[in-house]
Structure 1
Amino acid sequence: MDEREIQTDPGTEKGEKESWSLFEWFQALVCSVLVVVLLFTFAIRLIGVDGLSMVPTLQHGDRLLVVNSLLYHDYRQGDIVIARKESLTADPIVKRVIAVGGQKVDIDFSTGTVYVDDMPLEEDYINELTLTDEGTQFPLWVPEGSVFLMGDNRNHSSDSRSSRLGTVDTRYLIGKAVLLLYPGVDSVSGKREFSRIGLLE
């Protein structure tokens, strides 16, 4: 029996390799898009700051990276969070957690001092002392599963001092802001302070 060599067309082999490379590239692209979609659906979100209630920590127009409440739900005092409660506004609001469930909050509006569990808070992040009373009665005990929120720009912030908002059930929290990705225009200098980009505390 004659042994015959089967020869392949180099052009055909090259075409198959190119087709396979194109398929692999397309598959990688689809997987990457799917990962990004899942990440931004269940893990993180981008939120823009609207207003000046968190000055000086945050400025109007800041873009924040927010860890979704599905991943981060053990909220702590000092966390900067995004909340949604339509009794105050239909849009998400950015505030700081002042107290969590089981803690006592009191405010002396004559001195501008905030107390949590009868201890005055050291608040080096605020714009000015807390002098504005918005209707909530103090002292106040935060219900379990809720948080007490305030803006850092205390006298220009609608927050848990308002009877329209009050304490906020953690189910209304979208997540915790962890990173300033892009700065808005500073309300004092009128410029974008890119040195502010980074982790939020």
Structure 2
Amino acid sequence: MEKKEIAEETPAEAANPELTPAVVNCFEWVESLVTALIVVVIMFTFLFRIVTVEGTSMIPTLYGGDRLVVSSYFYQPKQGDIIVLKRTVGLAKPIVKRVIALPGQKVDIDFTAGIVYVDGKPLDESAYIENGITHEPATSEPLLTFPQTVPEGHVFVLGDNREVSEDSRFKAVGMVDERYVLGKAELILFPVSRFGRINK
């Protein structure tokens, strides 16, 4: 007597034996889509955030309206990183800035020469600010007196558009507590014309 091969049934077929292969494939496709969607939601809830840049303080690196992918999982700030900060005492809303100095480092700014020093060494910032020169902010708001040493658990941040950026030079902002750091800006997601990784 010949043995007949028995085809394995999918869960959808077992539940309803009258389903056609096309319908079963549709169920499987929807199941895969829902699973992928759940994974994406989990990733963007715990690992990544989408943040929109507001204002002009990071030009020419970032522009108002740019949408960024920000990694936030166990992130530890590094010098040169572009980070997103939650609202602090001196800021009304989240901001995007560049990390200039880390805890224990000494920051000095020579506004006459337009040079930022960290631990006595001039920073080469020509890759992201015009001529690598740090202009004095075009505002009457009180500034910190330099040099300054970054306290433990804090970072010193500046915007790339130094003339208009509200950042750690101002007494109202000052050194930023690392607890306010949402994460590192990794990628420009939108507009499509500017899509790509954010370089230091």
TM-score range, shorter chain: 0.7 to 0.9
User: Which residue in 2 is equivalent to 1:166?
Assistant: 174
Cα separation, 1, equivalents of 2:190 and 2:102:
29
1:28-47 matched pairs, under 5 angstroms: 28-47=32-51
SS at match of 1:35: helix
Provide the residue aligned with 1:123 in structure 2.
125
Q: Deviations over 1:30-86 (max 9, x none)?
A: 322211111110111111111110111111111111111x24x22111100000133
Say if 2:88 and 2:180, in contact at 8 Å, map to a contact too. no
1:63 to 61, 67, 77: 67
The corresponding residue for 2:198 is 200
SS of residue matched to 2:71:
strand
Q: Say which of 164, 175, 183 aligns to 1:175.
A: 183
2 CA distance for matches of 1:22 and 1:115? 61
Q: Equivalent pairs: percent with the same residue?
A: 48
Q: What's the Cα RMSD here?
A: 2.1
1:153 CA displacement: 0.5
Q: What is the total number of aligned residue pairs between the two structures?
A: 178
Unpaired segments ≥5 residues, structure 2: 1-15
C-alpha deviation, 1:199, in angstroms: 1.3
- Partner of residue 54 from structure 1, selected from 35, 47, 58: 58
Q: Deviations over 1:119-163 (max 9, x none)?
A: 000001113622326511211111122110000000110000011
Q: Which amino acid aligns with 1:86?
A: T
- CA distance in 2 between partners of 1:181 and 1:37 (Å): 17
Instruction: Extract structure 1 runs of 4+ deviating beyond 6 A.
Output: none
Aligned with residue 99 of structure 1, among 85, 98, 101: 101
TM-score, normalising length from structure 1?
A: 0.80
